[in-house]
Amino acid sequence: METSAASAILMDADSGRVLYEHNADRKMLIASTTKILTALVAIEEGDLHDSVKVSREAAYTEGSAMYLTEGETLTLETLLYGVLLCSGNDAAVAVAQHVGGSVKGFVALMNEKARELGMEHSSFANPNGLDDEQHYSTARDMAKLARAALENETLMRIASTRSVTIGGRTMTNHNKLLHYVDGCLGLKTGYTKAAGRTLVSCAEKNGQRLIAVTLQDGNDWADHQALYEYGFSAYPARTCAVRGQALTQASVSGGVSSTVPLIAGAGFCYPAAETERLTTRICLDEPLRAPVSAGKTVGAAVFCLNGTEIGRVPLVAGRTVMPKVSSALAGLKL
């Protein structure tokens, strides 16, 4: 698997497993893919229904725009459509000033969130991605950010919108993958002359979600399609456990029944190639002895890929097992 990107990564969203990478830890300019973090922080810290008055600074921000005018008032939600669909640098500044009190205050929130997400090789200097020596990230860090974005329903609702008319404006999403890739869930494009073309996207197939990031890639639309074709075919999600279904039977001593079904307390899937070996190990907290109560956690199922642990789920007793009544007691009449 190869791409035209200077830096790239393909990651399984749910497990975090990296399926492909190339220079994934190289610090790079990321252009407007920055706005994923801008939107995430704004949604978490702000109120979508807030009214935001556009400042002069926001209205006259350079670069791509949703064409705000000084003094107009829009909701924070409308501005976020401007941030994620038409990549408005003006909208990003307006959002930052409202949510953070100032651009500087908002950038502090962005860097705090990046640290929280484990984006160890990233630094943010503005909310829109304009070139700055103190503004950079890596493909791996941007994939971590995309994983967090996927868990935010509001952000993904906006990012997956192809076009919208809101607040008197009609905006069209710059992300062509929404048309090119079946199951594309959205995310963000970017470009500056210094950064080149940058793209963060995610797609879903058969319940599996993948994240692709390419930095400095002149052929990004085709590369993301190729990455998804590769990922979904070479590393399909394999189901190890289904919540509520029995994984195995365990022995019970001293009970009216000698066994009890062990039920998975959570589901677990993992992307794995056909040649890779997925195994399950049952670990009980202690040998089961009656009485055993239905629903009680009694251990864990440990899942391994080629012998290395990749996850575990709790195991609960599937039914109650009462202790045997001794024959001496059974013969007594009260």
Per-residue pLDDT of the chain (334 residues; tens, 9 = 90+): 899 999 999 999 999 999 999 999 999 999 999 999 999 999 999 999 999 999 999 999 999 999 999 999 999 999 999 999 999 999 999 999 999 999 999 999 999 999 999 999 999 999 999 999 999 999 999 999 999 999 999 999 999 999 999 989 999 999 999 999 999 999 999 999 999 999 999 999 999 999 999 999 999 999 999 999 999 999 999 999 999 999 999 999 999 999 999 999 999 999 999 999 999 999 999 999 999 999 999 999 999 999 999 999 999 999 999 998 765 555 555 5
* Other Cβ atoms within 10 Å of 219 Cβ, number: 13
Distance CA 238, CA 95 (A): 41
Listed in sequence order, the residues at least 6 apart from 202 whose beta carbon sits closer than 8 Å to its beta carbon are 13, 146, 150, 184, 185, 186, 187, 209, 210, 211, 212
Catalytic-role residue among 7, 15, 64, 87: 87
Query: To which H or E segment does residue 105 belong?
Result: helix 103-116
Q: Is 32 part of the annotated catalytic residue set?
A: yes
* Other Cβ atoms within 10 Å of 165 Cβ, number: 9
Nearest to 66 by CA among 41, 48, 52, 84: 84
How many separate helices (H) and strands (E) can be counted in the chain?
A: 10, 17
**Contact criterion met (CB below 8 Å) for 298 and 317:** yes
Catalytic-role residue among 32, 55, 137, 201: 32
For residue 42, what pLDDT is reported?
Answer: 98
What pTM does this model have? 0.92
Listed in sequence order, the residues at least 6 apart from 55 whose beta carbon sits closer than 8 Å to its beta carbon are 70, 93, 94, 97
- Rounded to 5 degrees, what angle do the CA atoms 299, 300, 305 make? 155
Specify the residue for token string 């998975």: 264
For residue 330, what pLDDT is reported?
Answer: 54
Specify the residue for token string 């304009």: 130
Phi (first) and psi of residue 167, to 5 degrees = 60, 35
For residue 333, what pLDDT is reported?
Answer: 54
For residue 332, what pLDDT is reported?
Answer: 53
Catalytic-role residue among 35, 113, 144, 188: 35
For residue 326, what pLDDT is reported?
Answer: 65
For residue 27, what pLDDT is reported?
Answer: 98
Specify the residue for token string 């919208």: 164
